[in-house]
Each structure stands twice: as C-alpha cells, then as structure tokens.
Amino acid sequence: MNLIIDVGNTLAKVAVFQNDELGKKEVVQKESLEKKIKEIFKEFPEIHAVVTSNVSKTTFSWPSGLQKKARILNLDANTLLPFENLYGTPATLGNDRKALAAAAVKKYPGRNVLVIDAGTCITYDFKNAENQYLGGGISPGLKMRFKALNSFTANLPLVTPQEDLKLIGDSTLSSINSGVIFGFLKEIDGIIEEYASQYDEMLTIITGGDAQFLSINLKNSIFANSNILLEGLNYILEFNISQ
C-alpha cells in the first residue's frame, strides 16, 4: 500500500493506493498536512512506501512509525522516471509535470498524449507514441489572469467568472469576463489544434482545478481526469521500488 503526497501552490493532496487502485483521497490546507498524514497512517498502518511531490516551501515531519517502516521517496531532479526525458533542462522540470507525463505513459502506452493541467498555471505536457517526454508549455491560469488585470492597472476591479458569459461585454465586469475567459478557452483550443496537426491520433487529457469548467466549454474532444497527477506519482513510486 502506497501513500501519495502532493503539495501544490495552494493546497495539498493526500492519497492511498493499493496497487494501481486509488482507495482514499483528501485535499487539505497545507498547514494541516502533517496532522492529516498522521491520521492516514493510523487508518492505514500497512502503508509500506511513500512518495512526496512538493512544489511549495511547506515543511512537515513524518510520524515515527511511518518513517521506520516505509520507504520514502522525495521526488526531485535525481529520481528515476519511467519514460525517456528529452526536456532540454531536466533539472528544472516541475514534479507535477513529471507525474503527469508518467501517468500518460502508464495509462496510454504507444499513444501521442497531451496533458493539460489547469490550476494556478496552465501546463501543457506532451509525450509521444514512443513514450518520450518532449516538453510543452506554461501559461497563466484563469484566476491569475483576473488577478493580473486588477494588480497591474489602477482602475480595473478583481472579478470572478460569471456563468452568464457575454461575448460583447456591456460593462467593465462583463468585459473583463469576456476577455479573460474567451481568451483562456481560445488559447487552449488553439494549442490542442496545433499539437493535433503535428501528431496523429493524439489524445488530450485535462486535469486541475478548472478542468470541469474547461471540459464543458472547450470545442475540442478531451478526457477529464482529476486524479491523473496522483496516479502518475504512484507509478513513479512503483517504478523506483522495482529498480
């Protein structure tokens, strides 16, 4: 049984896998992470391996019992990966992007796969049919775009997405929503189309906090998977245990 810990920019996720099956998942505030790990280990004392992906500066301590009995893998630049990494600067490749690529390799071997993670940032990660990770792109996420308009101008307010979206904004509020949201959607659709024009039979997977919103509004055919990053971390852990 494996414990998966993913510490993001905003929240932390804790998951338990039995083989390849997700048994439990909880999302917690980062300051509650240490307490949650203790609770999970108490509930699942048979945990024998742990992987952590930490993209923030959050620190925490392990329960003594877990530290004594479990193999703990801290994902970093030296961790073995279950794919050929052709990224030009592998030491700077984010843990989240490694995990997404690993999941794509595990779930869709022999396929061209683009994984889009729509959270604080949007990341685009592509692995080809030869299971080679080529790279992708990084762009501001939806909330970051709204915050940027507010932060870098004197008079524009901080707004939230409106359900009743208008192409032609007839107020400052609706104009910001139109510009940000339609720009957001068109960017992603356009990037998917660019990849699809170069790689045959490409599969697109979307995950992250804005995945549901995007899966409804994008014109391109995509698959939404909210757990793909956790699945990728579990696969990286299993791959390292097997070496």
The residues carrying an active-site annotation are 96
- Extract the tokens encoding 130: 């030869």
Is there a binding annotation on residue 117?
yes
- Confirm or deny that 38 is annotated as ligand binding: no
9 labeled part of a ligand binding site: yes
CA distance 153 to 143: 16
Angle between helix 228-241 and helix 95-107 axes, rounded to 10 deg: 80
Alpha-carbon distances of 97 from 43, 76, 178, 181, 221, rounded to whole Å = 30, 12, 29, 24, 22
* 173 among annotated binding-site residues: no
Closest CA to 220 of 181, 194, 198: 194
Q: Six-digit token pair at 35?
A: 């307490």
Please tell me whether 195 is known to bind a ligand. no
Half-sphere exposure at residue 148, Cβ-oriented, CA atoms within 13 angstroms: 11
Closest CA to 37 of 62, 59, 6: 62
204 is in an annotated binding site: no
Q: Is 87 annotated as a binding residue?
A: yes
| Ligand-binding site membership of 200 (annotated) | no
Query: Is 164 assigned to a binding site?
Result: no
Residues at the binding site are: 6-13, 87, 94-97, 117, 120, 172
Residues at the binding site for substrate are: 87, 94-97, 172
Residues at the binding site for ATP are: 6-13, 120
Residues at the binding site for K(+) are: 117
